[in-house]
Amino acid sequence: MSMIDDAKNILTMLKMPLAQTSELCCLTLLALAGINDNNQWKNSTNEWMRIHDIIQYITAKFGIQYAENTRETIRKNAIHHLRTATIIEDNGKATNSPNYSYRLTKEALFLLKKYGKKDWNKSLKHFQSIHASLLEIYSSKKKAQKVPICVNNNIIHFSPREHSQLLKHIIEEFAPRFAPYSECLYMGDTAKKDLIINTDKLIELGFIITVHDKLPDVILYNKDKMWIYFVEAVKSVGPMNPKRIHEIQNISQNVSAGKIFVSAFPDFQTYKKFANILAWDTEVWIAKLPEHLIHLNGNDFLKPRKH
């Protein structure tokens, strides 16, 4: 097994994401440890090295050449992640300083010296007990960026997009005001179309469930009134225009419950972009004006269509 294979194995056991066990990351680790195929891990060092020095070491010891103009690639794809995982540290110089350098942390140096020895596993567990793995760090960061929404008394985490923020407003602002005591039967996030779907209830109500893409962003159901609210969260496409109404009517043609069609917009400016194509006998709700509702035509304000 080559030292590159060893480095890949070490990074894997340190729970680095797959992308950060690449050959580039392995070679960077080896250079910073002063290790090559003619050396052993017990002889690891942690001398300060610039990225220029790392490139020269890789070329001299492994015969693999990286051009000087790849320094930013090495910084972004290897150095950044190794530093986040506290495997390496920098010398605190300004990033544009010619003396900006990196080295193994003392803990990582101690760990690498143990690789291949009988007390490796013990040393690895100790390192992991004081440093979160990169997988844990990135997973935690990703989760923190999610949009939490309380749906049907459960907390659901949505992708951090503007569309998801509008879904959050629909559930937390629109529903309590204009669809109280309703259950959310369906909700589709931009990252996952059927994040919430009560297929059994939808079929029981008479829906034809074949292609989820044809469902609106949110479906709310009020059992007491026997009303169903179809709500589209509109950012750039998808308001309740005649074509959209026709599509929803097709998949709900066997549904006897009353149907209410709502276009939800983040603000008045977005609403104005679509105002001339909205279908009559539908509702408009604007997140920045949450207490108000606009009804397009007719006397049946926020009531089911009669056709």
pLDDT of residue 194: 66
**Using CB atoms within 10 A of its CB, is residue 120 exposed (0-12), middle (13-18) or buried (19+)?**
middle
Secondary structure (3-state) at 161: coil
**Using CB atoms within 10 A of its CB, is residue 87 exposed (0-12), middle (13-18) or buried (19+)?**
buried
Beta strand 196-197 pairing with 218-222 = unpaired
In the block, tokens 């985490």 appear at 157
Q: Tens of pLDDT along 233-285?
A: 998 778 999 999 999 999 999 999 999 999 999 999 999 999 999 999 999 99
Mean pLDDT, 10 residues at a time, the chain of 307 residues: 91 90 95 93 95 95 89 91 88 82 93 94 87 63 58 70 85 92 85 76 87 79 95 88 92 93 95 94 95 82 70
pLDDT of residue 9: 96
pLDDT of residue 298: 62
pLDDT of residue 151: 76
In CATH terms, the fold of domain 146-295 is: Trna Endonuclease; Chain: A, domain 1 (3.40.1350)
DSSP string, 80-144: HHHHHTTSEEE----TT-TT--EEE-HHHHHHHHTTTSTTHHHHHHHHHHHS--HHHHHHHHHHH
Secondary structure (3-state) at 151: strand
Looking from the CA of 111 toward its CB, the CA atoms found within 13 Å total: 25
pLDDT of residue 69: 83
Provide the β-strand partners of residue 149.
Answer: 156
- The residue ranges of every structural domain in the chain are 3-141, 146-295
The two tokens of residue 167 are 């879904």
| One fold for 3-141 and 146-295 | no
Please say whether the beta carbons of 88 and 102 come within 8 A.
yes
First-to-last alpha carbon distance for the chain, in angstroms, is 73
The two tokens of residue 199 are 């297929």
Of 215, 307, 305, 306, the closest CA to residue 261 belongs to 305
Looking from the CA of 250 toward its CB, the CA atoms found within 13 Å total: 11
* pTM metric for this prediction: 0.53
- Rounded Cα distance between 266 and 287, Å, is 5
Q: How many CB atoms lie within 10 A of CB 224?
A: 8
pLDDT of residue 193: 65
The two tokens of residue 102 are 């990196």
In CATH terms, the fold of domain 3-141 is: Arc Repressor Mutant, subunit A (1.10.10)
Beta strand 227-233 pairing with 218-222 = antiparallel
pLDDT of residue 38: 87
**Using CB atoms within 10 A of its CB, is residue 237 exposed (0-12), middle (13-18) or buried (19+)?**
exposed
Secondary structure (3-state) at 222: strand
Q: How many CB atoms lie within 10 A of CB 304?
A: 17
